[in-house]
Chains A and B, each alone.
Chain A
């Protein structure tokens, strides 16, 4: 790498204006935690007491500012190019020394929160591999030095790695400031919002509503609103017609919410190709910049539902080594690329695998696959319904509802069975699954960490078994397969893992 104006060898502090950011950041946290109790205290206290409260608050803010100053001064970092390590020293009261070896660095992210956007700062975050969960975060850096440091950190990591990482030799000559090879237009975003990720949105809305109801309840408790009145109004309002309207309204609301969420998350979404890695930029409020090394991808996933198929659109997700990290970080190290066309999907897969993975031999599960689902989703509910009916209502009233439900559940189970397939070829294992969103998970056999085969006692005569490939980014299951076949697969994959020179990361 050519030398530049940026010297990271001597211990450096963050940008000087970082003090302001630290101050605001701590203040923001403080306000977030104290706002409600403080509000209650001020509201309930008399004027004389309020004076002291404001005084205390003023002192607290000054303390925060002093703390921010010391925090800024105690935070230093430097890059030791000879020992190939990056060192961060921090801490006002408790001093911490964090040493990260460059070849353990998996990912360097540059993010920007709303607050940082106002001041013009970036956060540099270093993700490391391995079970020791050390992570380095530098909270206040200007853009050019952040990018320079990121380049240095990653160039070291690459130089120290050996052989097979230089797969994309032909692209090394390309200029670093490449043209994005995938860019999402607002129209595509609209399409993505309208067709995908319903599940996540519903979960979000439910969480949001739950929190909303809780605070509504609090308000009612505080103001001692006559609960009966509210209850009555609610009951009168709920007629069959209004239920239909409500459902319709909720659906529209979900759709709009989903589209808005998609815009916030994927606004200005761009994918660049940089040597042998992918760089993903996105975000409306908080800019996110993620870096992905092709050979560190453990599982590549593409998902498509019926609507998306009609529009020639796919969602892609690349999972990296993340089992050792907590769930929240797990999501962060996944790379999502929504709204690719089939051609773009193939391009991305080619980046990762050097070719478009072939599906190979197709394995289908035994018809017994449906039994367990049938039992859980149809037989148990109908038994419960029968019991309830014995106590109260005549059975006939429920038959149409129950038939509708059964039909729905049976269709779901059928599709889940029909989509549960495993494709095996020499270099790839592809698992297809899903009911509405059909997902393809692609792994390479040398990324397998361990394999488990399982057979239930009563499946012995039917010659059926389940197989699980454990990878560093999660498990891949194939259920109710022919036992002889999956035993062969186990032997074959073990042979591949054990004879392969390739490292899994």
Chain B
């Protein structure tokens, strides 16, 4: 019996990325998640309709970038004087004052990283259908992992709200149409992150590789050399 257990385990294994516990490979059922029995790390989350949803949502996000970057988010006026805030002119103002490092950080976290996330996810979820793009998709998956925590649209949203309330006793603060687009983009961004399932991309690539190989040697796809 022990031998059969061992054989079942040895087919394919995975290790928990947070506690290194060796586990049998399993995939979460759709809509559920798989947790490590030792440290409760989420090993795999399986959102329904992953690749198609991710593609649709990231394209939506990319389209929303145009109004968000061009329309003002907030406007502030005292008597006859007024000014507007767009996503970029805060960065430009900081840059003009000489706070280059801060301007760069704000630019990166509020524009470049979210844009990069949408672009990478769109590319991954659409590109994984073509054999030709296997290598770039692999590269994109890796870079997405590095980039994902730096997209901070939700934090920026909270910053907007704090600014809105903080300054409302000094003058007249108004919400501009860009803000609604921004809220939409933030929601789309979070939904995109939630609907993306890396494991589904890998299994799609793997499936195709196996089909290309003619499915003759199932052991060859594991990429785990026997010691």
Query: Are both chains from one complex?
Result: no
**Chain A interfacial positions (CB closer than 8 Å to B):** none
